[in-house]
Amino acid sequence: PLVKMLFGITELEEELRRRFGLKQAVIVAGDSDETPHVKQELGRAAASILRRYVTKGDIIAVTGGSTMAQIAERMTPSPQFKGCWFVPARGGLGERVELQANTIASAMAKRTGAQYRMLHVPDHLGEEAYQSLIQDPTVSDIIADIRKARIVLHGMGEALVMARRRRVDERTMTSLLAEGALAEAFGYYFDEQGRVVHNMPTVGLRIEDIDNAELRIGVAGGASKGRAIAAVIRHGREDVLVTDEAAAEQMLLMG
Ligand code: BG6
């Protein structure tokens, strides 16, 4: 039965890869909505994928989130990470400290033996504050580094779940609903077709930087996230997807 199960997953990976035009799909067994252990396995799988693709001196931009926190926990020192830098993909998005991209970047660096840089940007920036912040030399220096990232490692979530978690205001919530926001990744909200319908005001990677990065690795699982993951992938090219069986099945059901 084990061999049969593994074979089943391998076929599912190939089908997912082909249907969504991915370079690689990795699927762990189970549903992380139901079993916390599956989310840990997702973390382990993603940590090993990153180790496979990383090259010396890379800048790796990472997002925050509980899935990303699991990946950090599963990382181990490895020679490939020597001289690499972990940086947050974007500034403050309204997350709790444990789930912030800065925290994840520093944890990943410490675990792998790489280095890190932080981006200190307050949440919910107004236009004026944003303009003056990006002119600050220390901030613009790190933003320039972030935009050189060769690899972007990121989580993905459901739009309304993420909007609530980040306590966006009522007006934003209403417009997200009106615009059909379904998915969220790196502070951008996407509709079912993968069109960007909203962008949280912060600094760091712009959507075009993400689209142009050499390698994007998206990590998310759970049946509830299936449609959202598909929407993010429809936006552009996702190279590597690390997910679980339940999310993969939802994605394939959608066609
Ligand atoms: C965020 C990422 O921090 O984590 C988002 O910036 C993603 O791209 C979210 O939607 C997912 O969070 P979690 O906790 O479900 O892994």
pLDDT tens-place string over residues 112-159? 999 999 999 887 778 888 888 889 999 999 999 999 999 999 999 999
List pLDDT tens digits, range 38-75.
999 999 999 999 999 999 999 999 999 999 999 999 99
DSSP helix/strand/coil, 152: strand
List pLDDT tens digits, range 175-200.
999 999 999 999 999 999 999 999 98
Distance CA 137, CA 218 (A): 31
Atom of ligand 1 nearest to the CA of 89: 6
- What is the pTM (predicted TM-score) of this model? 0.95
pLDDT band at 7 (very low <50, low <70, confident <90, very high): low
pLDDT at 1 over 90: no
Considering only CA atoms, which of 41, 53, 43 is closest in space to residue 108?
Answer: 43
Beta strands 85-88; 115-116: pairing state? parallel
63 lines ligand 1 (CB under 6 A): yes
Atom of ligand 1 nearest to the CA of 95: 3
Cα 243 to averaged position of ligand 1 atoms, centre (Å) = 13
Distance CA 36, CA 29 (A): 12
Average pLDDT, the chain: 93
Distance CA 254, CA 226 (A): 9
Alpha helices by DSSP H, listed for 54-136, are: 66-73, 101-112, 127-135
Neighbouring residues of 48: CB distance < 8 A, sequence distance ≥ 6: none
Distance of CA 158 to the CA centre of its chain: 12
224 lines ligand 1 (CB under 6 A): no
Cα 1 to averaged position of ligand 1 atoms, centre (Å) = 34
67 lines ligand 1 (CB under 6 A): yes
Distance CA 35, CA 176 (A): 30
> CA angle at residue 13 from 9 to 18, to 5 degrees?
150
Atom of ligand 1 nearest to the CA of 225: 15
Ligand 1 pocket: which of 158, 162, 205 to mutate (most atoms within 8 A of CB): 162
Ligand 1 pocket: which of 38, 39, 67, 210 to mutate (most atoms within 8 A of CB): 67
